Amino acid sequence: MTAAQTDRRGWENILDADEHILWQGRPDPTLRFAFAGLGRTMFGAAFAGFALFWMTMAAQGGGFFWMFGLIHFAAGVGIMGGAALLFPYRARHTWYTLSSKRAFVATDFPVQGRKLRDYPIAPDTNLLLDENTVSTLYFGPEPVFRKNQNRARRVGFERIHDGRRVYGMMRDIQRAQRLAAGSPT
């Protein structure tokens, strides 16, 4: 089997004839705590703390009425630690691929099943590289439709180890597309 055939195995009905895979990776599943989730963590701690206080006071009255507080305590603990624990779970079920034309994000969650989303890399695609110990490379917004509001969330390769290299590849794709269109780089 040639390198080109190996490159396309499993991608036969997904990639265009002139498209090839440049990079594949996965998010780093390490547990993390972000400053952005601090408010949610504090709310969860206050919620769980109040539920614990309520259960203690209710238990002094005797009986099993205090057990009604368990669901609130569990909800508070879930709010407090859920955001931090959710990312490692999501990371274990996520795969990234960069082709010569598109970025792919594949997920396989037990309830939702397998999903493959592709995001074209165009000359005007806004790229944002957030560099830390592990990098996150954002390449576009994705609309999120809620009950009474529509908003956009950032889409990208989250927490990858070779972010600068992948960013360079995406910039090369954009440069090649501009040259093919006859635009200066």
Residue 14 CA: distances (Å) to CA of 21, 100, 143:
11, 13, 23
The residues pairing with 130 across neighbouring beta strands, listed in sequence order, are 136
* pTM: predicted TM-score of the whole model, two decimal places: 0.73
At 3 the pLDDT is 45
Q: Beta strand pairing status for 102-109 and 113-120?
A: antiparallel
Q: Give 105-151 pLDDT, tens digit per residue.
A: 999 988 889 999 999 999 999 999 998 878 999 998 877 777 777 88
Angle between helices 38-60 and 69-92 (to 10 degrees): 150
